[in-house]
A and B are shown apart, each in its own frame.
Chain A
Amino acid sequence: MGIESADEVHDRTESGIPPIKRIVVNGEMPPVRVSQGEANGAPTHIAESFVIDQGAMAPAWTEERMKVESLGVRFDRKEAVKDVSIEVNSGEVLALIGPSGCGKTTLLRSLNKLVDLTPTAVRSGRIMLDGQDTDLMDDTLLRKKVGMLFQQPNPFPMSIFDNVAYGLRERGTKRPGKKELEPIVVDALERAGIWAEVSDNLSHPALSLSGGQQQRLCIARSLAVRPEVLLLDEPCSALDPISTAIIEETIVELKSEIAIVIVTHNLQQAERVADQVGFMYLGDLVEYGSVEQVFNAPMAERTKDYVRGDFG
């Protein structure tokens, strides 16, 4: 495949705009390079385009989005996360695995400071987003840049359209009308892979959709605010296998545009969608590496036991 080296691509992105990638799932399209011209005054490129086939989908290009520096989180006396440092890169999926109560969800919820909503939570260490300390950022701004998907599908009790438009409608300021929002809503629904199913009934209540559709609608709702990072907290644990497969496909398609962190109990799922894997145990990040390394040649004894299915 004609993928350029990582360095070459990186040079072109010094303007700060991540390059656009094109992914063709199970297609035979040859790699092409297209210059998109000058949109919004800044050049955008299709940096690469490659064919996903037989699981060979590790992208050549990544860029650091978030950086966790010796993060510690405690609830009262209980240490949920101990001194964890990890990076979240765009262009790849980071999976956090580990047994229940190992702190992986707490780590995930620290990335958008949702953990701060728990009154007893005390956080230490630093989390950077694009080189900026998230503690110095406004919570609402951070959460627009770092979206999240939950274990249970949780559309709001309003229409499908209003659900996706929810994050775009600001309070107080002049509220954008339906006409202005429509292209963004449609685009988000398309990227979440649910447009074909709901295009005829955008005004229907979102809670009338099936569980899998609801979860994809929630993805669309997150995508509509154009996040840089998407956090997924066991997004498929309440779904059937077919919905799970569709969501996983969506995750793989999305990773070219945004950094994705997924917490999962399902090791096969981690193997299917992830590029990097972090194994957590009792609040420690025991192992962190590429998916091949963690699953095939784990360094720590604990990781070996866990990925083999001895405990967890």
Chain B
Amino acid sequence: MVSGKSRRPIKARGSRKVRARGVWSIGDRVGLTIAWATGIFLCLVAFSVTIYLALKGVQYLNLDILISRPEAGTEQSETGGILDPMIGTLLLTILGTAIAAPIGVGIAIWLTEYGRPSLLARFVEAGIEMLVGAPSIALAIFGLLIFQNSFMAPFSFTAEGGAVFGRSFFAAGAIMSLIALPFVVGGTREALNSIPKHVREASYALGKDQASTIRRVLLPSARSGIATGTTLGMAQIIGETAVVVVLLGASLQLAPEGAIPVLDVLKGTGSTLTSYVYQNSPAGEGKAPEKAYAAAFVLLLIVIALNLFVNQISKRGRHTWG
């Protein structure tokens, strides 16, 4: 009895295996193998990048680098730390997000809830897709074109003689917002689209108009989608290099312009972690490769933290109806 009992499931499992082997053709199995191989390869690449940077980063990163300003020097020991690039990354991210978030949410609401005239809506959609696909260097050059105009002088680093360089946190932040915008719009639209129609109708059925429905029901429901899109946009800004080099000057230290606090920094030039890594790695001038590794590691940590944050909010804030 006992042996019979234990044998039956084994038999069943075995026979299922045989059938499965019969169903899969050679082509399918080759495809499956390739899929497995590429998947594992991808994991290997991701892990090796992370581990390599982590090893190097831990090796060179110390508190001193984090809190001292970068200096010009011919020896690696004289080049100071990465405080200014870190502040630059922070400022640029805040500025770019502050511009992109409200505009992006507004565009997403208009596209999903109104979408009229439909021709204009289609143009806006196409424009956002263009922004996703546009090379950031092209956007950066476009930004330079605008901010070099003399009427943009209040927002830009200017020389003694009045020449407008078109470079500042304002200029870089404005173009960075274009890079973050599609992510904000995408995240918000997805969240709004996932709210069932009957939830909107429930609000209308209580005698509410569209404006209060959007404000009191739809936006709170879409909160996590908006946060996700905004955070993804932030990650894009943090990882962007071309815009920093062209529009922020990628100067060694923050170079404030003018006398008003805060505003002077925003009007001046600076650098970010990305431009710092570029300039100090062997790819650029290569003065301080160790500090480039340290900065790259900090960059990686920030982006990983943002991604974890995105996972967390999209898991926690999801509402399901019915």
Contact = CB atoms under 8 A, between A and B. Distances in A.
B91 interface: no
Contacts of A156: 199, 202-203, 216-217, 220-221
A158 B198 contact: no
A140 B201 contact: no
A167 B206 contact: yes
A106 interface: no
B319 interface: yes
A114 B198 CA distance: 11
B206 A166 contact: yes
Given A152-B322, A153-B321, A158-B220, A221 B206 contact: yes
Most chain A Cβ neighbours within 10 Å, of B207, B209, B215, B322 = B207
B16 interface: no
A221 B216 CA distance: 15
Contact of B206 (A147, A153, A231): A147
Contacts of A117: 201, 204
Interface residues of B, number: 23
Interface string B200-230: 0111111111011001110011000000000
A132 to B, nearest CB: 16
A157 interface: yes
Given A152-B322, A154-B198, A166-B216, A114 B204 contact: yes
Most chain B Cβ neighbours within 10 Å, of A142, A158, A231 = A158
B220 A157 contact: yes
B106 interface: no
Interface string B267-289: 00000000000000000000000
A34 interface: no
Interface in B80-98: none
A144 B205 CA distance: 7
Contact of A143 (B199, B207, B319): B207
A152 B198 contact: yes
Interface in B173-210: 196, 198-199, 201-209
A112 interface: yes
Nearest to A140: B207
Q: How large is the interface on A (under 10, 10 to 19, 20 to 34, 35 or more residues)?
A: 20 to 34
B221 A157 contact: yes
Contacts of B211: 171
A139 B207 CA distance: 7
A207 interface: yes
A140 B198 contact: no
Interface in A140-171: 140-144, 147-148, 150-154, 156-158, 166-167, 169, 171
B207 A207 contact: no
Contacts of A143: 204-207
B208 A112 contact: no
Interface of B: 196, 198-199, 201-209, 211-212, 215-217, 220-221, 319-322
A-B complex: 4 closest residue pairs judged by Cβ atoms: A152-B322, A144-B207, A167-B206, A148-B205
